[in-house]
Amino acid sequence: MIVLAVKPQAMKGPCAEKPAPKPAAAPNWWCPIAAGITCASMNNWLGAQPIVRCMPNTPALLRQGVSGLYATHEVTAEQRDQAQELLSAVGIALWLEQEQQLDAVTAVSGSGPAYFFLLIEAMTAAGVKLGLPQQVAEQLAEQTALGAAKMAVSSEVDAAELRRRVTSPGGTTQAAIESFQAGGFEALVEKSTGCRSTSFG
């Protein structure tokens, strides 16, 4: 199993220098980690090879990541298990039936941490404007994000229901949610996640 984790625009070079399998060893198979590099492009550079495309995200650094995986028809059950084991070591790994679904994975979870960091930044800045010290505002925003994420993961109900439970009718939270929605919050999220990855193949 050869993992290629490089910038998309640099992927072709390592493929051109692919190592030959050792005598009496099983053939190499490939696990590229790069947005926008299709299996067809990999096969153009490598020849017909078993390929498992992977799209993890940066929380994998803390073993809290999530990865989307797609396997070509040449990939064996054993190789799928190996890829699953590798990516599960840094979070959860979810198999996809169609390769193009990796574009959605890139938009939702690959880029997703940056969206949440931006929200934390904005909440921190708002707290400072309301008179909180910078450090206190940061801790409030960060811990709130962490707690909310843990609730969403561990709860038996979906995020929409959790939001409703926090939102008292006529209260300040409802007013804030309505302000988000009046500003086109859902439409902005949909638009941002619709920015598909650039193809480098």
Per-residue pLDDT of the chain (201 residues; tens, 9 = 90+): 999 998 989 999 888 887 666 665 667 899 999 888 999 999 999 888 899 999 999 999 999 999 999 999 999 999 999 999 999 999 999 999 999 999 999 999 999 999 999 999 999 999 999 999 999 999 999 999 999 999 999 999 999 999 999 999 999 999 999 999 999 999 988 888 876 555 555
Instruction: Note the pLDDT of residue 120.
Output: 97
Q: Does a structural domain hold residue 145?
A: yes
Q: Does a structural domain hold residue 76?
A: yes
Q: Which of 75, 100, 125 is the last residue of a domain?
A: 100
Q: Does a structural domain hold residue 199?
A: no
Tokens of 98: 């169609």
Instruction: Note the pLDDT of residue 17.
Output: 80
Q: What is the pTM of this model?
A: 0.83
b/e per residue, 119-154, with b = 16+ CB within 10 A?
A: ebeebbeebeeeebeeeebbeebeeeeeeeeeeeee
Q: Which of 74, 100, 126 is the last residue of a domain?
A: 100
Q: Give the range of the structural domain holding residue 49, as residue numbers without chain letter.
A: 2-100
Instruction: Note the pLDDT of residue 147.
Output: 97
Give the integer Cα–Cα distance in Å for 145 and 119: 9
Give the integer Cα–Cα distance in Å for 12 and 32: 11
Q: Does a structural domain hold residue 118?
A: yes
Q: Does a structural domain hold residue 50?
A: yes
Q: Are 139 and 77 part of one and the same domain? A: no
Q: Are 23 and 96 part of one and the same domain? A: yes
Helices (H) and strands (E) in the chain, counts: 9, 5
Q: Does a structural domain hold residue 200?
A: no
3-state secondary structure of 83: helix
Q: Are 77 and 9 part of one and the same domain? A: yes
Instruction: Note the pLDDT of residue 36.
Output: 87
Q: Are 51 and 116 part of one and the same domain? A: no
Q: Are 160 and 89 part of one and the same domain? A: no
What is the distance in angstroms between the CA of the first residue and the CA of the last residue of the chain?
A: 21
Q: Are 94 and 174 part of one and the same domain? A: no
Q: Does a structural domain hold residue 107?
A: no
Instruction: Note the pLDDT of residue 48.
Output: 84
Please count the structural domains in the chain.
2
